[in-house]
């Protein structure tokens, strides 16, 4: 039989001196080019004088066509925390998603995992990978966000990762409302919580009435707690 002697510029050539049951070539991982590599060879036979080799050597040029590799999550996205009425910023790290294809550009998109509408307070800029916004009192809760990185090939491939954004509640001040009372002469009046128009619309869940502060005393009559006159700035707890 004959044998093949070969040298190669890139990749690996597999062969045998005694016989050649199969010969194959393996490019380096995730590599391509046109041309990509070449190798030279000399063929030999088993003549009367032993093995003779062809001269000069010949050349095989190899062209490796690219394939689109799937992007990967290199560093999982960390969960985030935002606070009501406080500006929030989070930028997806540049190394969160990677692609071995050096001639592609990743683009990004964000959505809620459950498919519900995107919250109005939260913005996402795909060009800078930046989440930003200021949540309001009605935006508290948990958002499960999925980020998708897509490559720029004609038939793009993508990968996704999720993170949780917790919007924490803060204690908002309640509201009161002006009112008018009709009393009977010489009959004391006991105030109740309903007289002050209490509401707590900004807290979720809303808080209960706690106390009232007397900002200024009435210009006639006496305010008292259990029969003891009080001064401006005093606090009082009331029955419902």
Cβ neighbours for 235, distance < 8 A, ≥ 6 positions apart: 211, 212, 213, 214
pTM: 0.62
d(CA 171, CA 84): 10
Is 90 exceeded by the pLDDT of residue 144? yes
Lowest model confidence (mean pLDDT) among 6-10, 50-54, 180-184: 6-10
* CA dihedral of 16, 18, 20, 26, whole degrees rounded to 10: 0
- Top pLDDT among 159 and 44 is at 159
pLDDT at 148: 98
d(CA 82, CA 142): 10
Check: CB of residue 186 under 8 Å from CB of residue 99.
Answer: no
d(CA 110, CA 184): 65
Local confidence band at 47 (pLDDT 50, 70, 90 cut-offs)? low
pLDDT at 2: 43
- Top pLDDT among 73 and 195 is at 73
Check: CB of residue 150 under 8 Å from CB of residue 157.
Answer: yes
Lowest model confidence (mean pLDDT) among 96-110, 195-209, 223-237: 195-209
Check: CB of residue 8 under 8 Å from CB of residue 37.
Answer: yes
Is 50 exceeded by the pLDDT of residue 175? yes
């Amino acid at each position: 039989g004959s044998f093949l002697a070969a040298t190669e510029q890139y990749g690996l050539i597999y062969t045998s001196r005694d016989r050649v049951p199969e010969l194959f070539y393996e490019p380096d991982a995730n590599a391509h080019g046109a041309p990509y590599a070449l190798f030279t060879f000399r063929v030999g036979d088993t003549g009367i004088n032993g093995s003779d080799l062809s001269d000069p050597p010949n050349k095989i040029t190899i062209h490796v066509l690219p394939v689109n590799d799937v992007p990967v999550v290199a560093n999982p996205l960390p969960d985030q925390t935002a606070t009501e009425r406080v500006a929030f910023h989070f930028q997806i790290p540049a190394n969160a998603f990677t692609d071995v294809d050096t001639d592609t550009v990743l683009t990004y998109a964000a959505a809620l995992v459950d498919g519900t509408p995107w919250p109005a307070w939260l913005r996402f800029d795909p060009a800078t990978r930046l989440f930003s916004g200021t949540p309001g009192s009605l935006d508290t809760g948990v958002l499960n966000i999925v980020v998708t990185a897509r490559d720029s090939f004609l038939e793009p491939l993508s990968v996704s990762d999720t993170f949780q954004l917790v919007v924490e509640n803060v204690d908002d001040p309640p509201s009161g409302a002006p009112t008018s009372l009709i009393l009977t002469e010489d009959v004391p009046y006991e105030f109740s919580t309903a007289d002050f128009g209490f509401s707590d619309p900004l807290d979720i869940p809303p808080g209960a009435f706690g106390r009232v502060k007397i900002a200024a005393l009435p210009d006639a009559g006496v305010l008292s707690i259990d029969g003891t006159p009080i001064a401006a700035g005093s606090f009082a707890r009331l029955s419902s």
